[in-house]
Amino acid sequence: MFSSLKFGGQQISQLIKTSDRCVYSIASSHSNHFHYNAHRTTVSEKSLPRRLNLYKSGDSNLKENLSSSLLRRNLASVTPAAIGKAVSKDERREFMAVFPDIVRDLTETHRQTEIPDVTKWYSKVLQYNVPGGKKNRGLALILAYRMLAPQSAQTPEKIREAQIMGWCIEMLQAFFLVLDDMIDGSETRRGRICWYRNPSVGLNAANDGIFIESGIYQLLRRYFVDKPYYFQAIDLFHEATHKTIMGQALDLLTAQSIAKYKLDKFTMDRYNSIVKYKTSYYSFHLPVALAMYMAGISNAEQHRQAKTLLLEMGNFFQVQDDYMDCFGDPAVTGKIGTDIQDGKCSWLAVVALQRCTPDQRKILEECYGSHDPEKVDAVRNVYNQINLPHIFSTYEEDSYNLIQTHIQQMSGGLNLNLFFKLLDKIYKRDN
C-alpha cells in the first residue's frame, strides 16, 4: 500500500497530513457595526485601522494617522482577557494521569492475545507520539466543559469523561502530525526526532498514524456509546478530519503550483482557506463544540456563534505559527521550521509578496521552495528587508484587540470568559 511513498523532503502525495500551522484572516462581523460594552457605543467597521485590511486584501497604501491607537481607544472598555494561564498545573497533571489508562484501554492483552507483538508496538506508538507537546486541544476541551457545564454536572466521573474526550482530540492531533512530518520531511517534533525518522520506523509511520486515529473511535465506543451526545461526537470527529484533509490537499496543491505558476497562487484568500480547513476546525472548533454537547448545550445559534469566533482564533493562531516557523527558536518551539524549504503558502510569504519590490519578488520566485541553505537565507533576508517581524508584531496586537471585540459581541448566554481565556492563552505565545 505504501511501497511507492517517499519521505525526507520528497513529496508523499498519497498521504494526508496536517500540522499546527493555521492561518489568520481578520474575520468580519455578521453585523455591519461593532457594539462595545453596556453603553453600546457604535463604531463603524470602516473606522477601524485601515492597516487591518492589509492582511485581507494586500492594500499597502496605509495611512499612519489611522494607527492602532484608534482601535485601542474604541476597545478601552471591552472586558480584558483573563490574566494568567487558562489551565492550572494541577489540571495538567490530572489530565496526564489519565493517559496510562488510555494506553491500557487500547492495548489490553486479553483482547488481542493472538497478536501480542502488535499490542506492544501500539503502546510504543501511542507513548511516543500522543502525550508530548502542550496538549492545548485536549486541555481546551476540559476548560470549556468546566466553564460551560452546570456545577451539578461537574462530578469526578463527568470530569474524567471530559479528560478522556480530550485525549481523543490529542490522538487526532498525533495522527495528523505523524503524517505531516513525513510529507514535509521534518526533522524534529516536540523537541525530539520525528517518529518516522527513528531507524525502526521509516515508512511504517504511515500505518502507525492510521493506528493512532483508529483508537479514537475505540475510546468513543467504550466510554460514550450510551451518552446522548455520542452521535454528535462521532460526527464532529469525522467532520474535523475531513475538513483537515481538504485543507491539507489545498496546502499541497499550492506548494506544487510553484513549479508552473511560481508564486502567483500565493494569495491571502487562498491562505485563509488553507488555514480555515487545515487547522482551525480541529484545533479550535472541535474541542469547544465537543465540550458544549457534553455540557448539554445543543442550541444551533450558540454553536454557530462559537464556531465563527473559534475559527477566527484558529486563524490568529496559525499566523503566529507561521512566524515562529521562520523566526522562532527551535529550542523553544520544539521543531525546526521548514516552511520556506517546503514552499508553504505561509502568512509570511503572502505578506512579503504583497509588499516586496520587483527585485525582491524575483529573489522570492528564484529561491522559495528550495532546500539550498543559501536560497533559504536569501528568502529570510527579503523578509527582514521588508521588516516582517515588525509587521507581525503590529498584526498580532491589532488582531488580538479585534478578536476581543468579537467576543464581546457574542449573545445567546454562553460564558464569554471561556473565549477570553482561550484568546489569552495564545496571545504573545512563543511555542
Q: Is 151 helix (H, G, I), strand (E, B) or coil?
A: helix
Q: Is 328 helix (H, G, I), strand (E, B) or coil?
A: coil
Q: Using an 8 Å Cβ cutoff, are 316 and 400 in contact?
A: yes
Catalytic residue among 184, 339, 398, 424: 184
In whole angstroms, give the CA distance from residue 382 to residue 367: 11
Catalytic residue status for 117: no
Catalytic residue status for 329: no
Q: Which of 175, 230, 403 is nearest to 311 (CA)?
A: 403
Catalytic residue among 51, 135, 146, 189: 189
Catalytic residue status for 424: no
Helices then strands, counting H and E runs in the chain, come out as 18, 4
Catalytic residue status for 180: yes
Catalytic residue status for 269: no
Catalytic residue among 208, 251, 342, 424: 251
Catalytic residue among 95, 317, 392, 420: 317
Catalytic residue status for 278: yes
Q: Which of 255, 249, 276 is nearest to 342 (CA)?
A: 255
Q: Using an 8 Å Cβ cutoff, are 81 and 430 in contact?
A: no
Catalytic residue status for 322: yes
Q: Using an 8 Å Cβ cutoff, are 25 and 57 in contact?
A: no
Catalytic residue status for 189: yes
Q: Scan for cell 497533571, then name that residue.
A: 93
Catalytic residue status for 317: yes
Q: What are residue 130's DSSP bridge partners?
A: none
Q: Scan for cell 491571502, then name that residue.
A: 268
Catalytic residue among 20, 208, 321, 398: 321
Catalytic residue status for 134: yes
Catalytic residue among 181, 322, 342, 424: 322
**Per DSSP, which regions of 181-257 are E strands?**
188-189, 192-193
Catalytic residue among 243, 278, 421, 425: 278
Catalytic residue among 124, 134, 160, 375: 134
Catalytic residue among 17, 34, 137, 180: 180
Catalytic residue among 7, 34, 175, 392: 175
Q: Which of 399, 253, 255, 389 is nearest to 315 (CA)?
A: 399
Which residues carry out catalysis? Answer: 134, 175, 180, 184, 189, 251, 278, 317, 321-322
